[in-house]
């Protein structure tokens, strides 16, 4: 990538903030739906995401995209399956419990990823990460325990469904990391990263699987024109466009900084639901969310500082 096409750090960081802002609109938009029901919401969101990404990537890559998609390696299909679980579980969970409960539960994805990387890839994690995992686990346990004491079975089930999102995200990252490690290393600067898993194809496959598995559960449809307009917005502006931006941004930002900025989705999402839909976060979400987000911020901030402290090799 040439200097003229690369993003500066400031622009990449701003782009990540924009991504989290777009992601965070799902909760408040879902509270504005009039007639669409649980699986119907998921179906149309995934369908419009598939259509949006399909049009954008066809314009970028040409019609050969679809033939290449069918010939995608197994790892891309496994990644697509993980994406389908994330797409489906997220929207279903939003229909069952508060936005804050869903977002806080999802926010433990970086810590679950650290656990999976240690177990399956044998990556060594610093002690601060294990401390953060223990503290964040306590925050999630607080939220679950409060809902159990309140006998709010539906909210508890919604949080359990939401837990499938960070679980699938961590598995997705682990699968892609394993595939990347198994690829031969290029011995010259002219080799393109064609052997690396195609993330865009995986997202397309995930959207297609999500739409297909929720179609029979969503039928017959009840969405009116108002709801279809909102679901179109979710598929395109809350999902497809941020997916395109995220891949661009992550090329210019270190992983800890991406994870740290990604936590803004929790704050933005809770605020949108509170201000836009009158859904105040419960006390358990505030306490548990504060514990989880605090642990994540502490861990990612120290990770970022550690990376910045490593001196760059001298230029020759």
Going by C-alpha positions, the residue among 141, 134, 52, 39 that lies closest to residue 90 is: 39
- Look at residues 170, 195, 246 and name the one whose alpha carbon lies nearest to residue 76: 195
Burial of 219 (C-beta count, 10 Å sphere; 0-12/13-18/19+): exposed
Q: Give me the phi and psi of 17, to 5 degrees please.
A: -65, -40
One DSSP character per residue, 129-159 reads: HHHHHHHHHHHHHHHHHHHHHTT-HHHHHHH
pLDDT tens digits, residue range 161-210?
999 999 998 898 888 777 765 554 444 433 444 455 677 888 899 999 99
Tokens at residue 106, please? 């999802």
Running DSSP on this structure, what letter comes out for residue 125? -
Higher-confidence residue: 207 or 302? 207
Say what the pTM is: 0.80
pLDDT for the residue 270: 86
Whether the per-residue pLDDT at 35 is higher than 80: the answer is yes
Write down the mean pLDDT value for the chain. 81
pLDDT tops 80 at residue 310: no
State phi, psi for 190 to the nearest 5 degrees.
Answer: -90, -10
Residue of higher predicted confidence among 109 and 6: 109
Tokens of 201: 């194809």
Q: Which residue has the higher pLDDT, 34 or 280?
A: 34
pLDDT at 80: 92
pLDDT band at 212 (very low <50, low <70, confident <90, very high): very high
């Amino acid at each position: 990538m040439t200097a003229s096409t690369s993003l500066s750090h400031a622009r990449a960081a701003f782009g990540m903030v924009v991504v989290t802002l777009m992601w965070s609109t799902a909760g408040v938009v879902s509270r504005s739906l009039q007639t669409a029901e649980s699986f119907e919401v998921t179906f149309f969101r995934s369908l419009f995401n598939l259509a949006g990404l399909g049009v954008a990537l066809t314009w970028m890559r040409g019609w050969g995209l679809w033939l290449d998609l069918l010939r995608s390696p197994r790892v891309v299909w496994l990644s697509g399956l993980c994406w389908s679980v994330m797409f489906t579980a997220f929207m279903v969970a939003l229909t069952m419990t508060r936005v804050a409960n869903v977002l806080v539960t999802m926010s433990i994805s970086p810590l679950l990823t650290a656990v999976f990387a240690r177990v399956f890839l044998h990556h060594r994690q610093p002690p601060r990460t294990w401390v953060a995992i223990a503290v964040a686990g306590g925050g999630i346990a607080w939220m679950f325990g409060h809902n159990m004491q309140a006998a709010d079975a539906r909210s508890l089930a919604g949080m359990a469904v939401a837990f499938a999102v960070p679980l699938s995200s961590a598995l997705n990252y682990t699968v892609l990391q394993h595939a990347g490690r198994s690829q031969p290393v290029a011995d010259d600067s002219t080799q393109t990263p064609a052997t690396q898993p195609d993330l865009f194809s995986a997202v397309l496959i995930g959207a297609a699987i999500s739409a297909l598995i929720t179609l029979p559960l969503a039928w017959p449809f009840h969405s009116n024109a108002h709801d279809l307009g909102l679901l179109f917005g979710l598929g395109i502006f809350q999902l497809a466009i941020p997916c395109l931006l995220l891949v661009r941004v992550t090329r210019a930002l270190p992983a800890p900084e991406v994870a740290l900025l990604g936590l803004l989705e929790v704050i933005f999402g809770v605020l949108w639901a509170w201000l836009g839909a009158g859904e105040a976060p419960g006390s358990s979400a505030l306490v548990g969310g504060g514990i989880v987000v605090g642990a994540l911020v502490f861990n990612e901030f120290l990770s970022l500082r550690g990376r910045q402290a490593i001196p760059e090799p001298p230029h020759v």
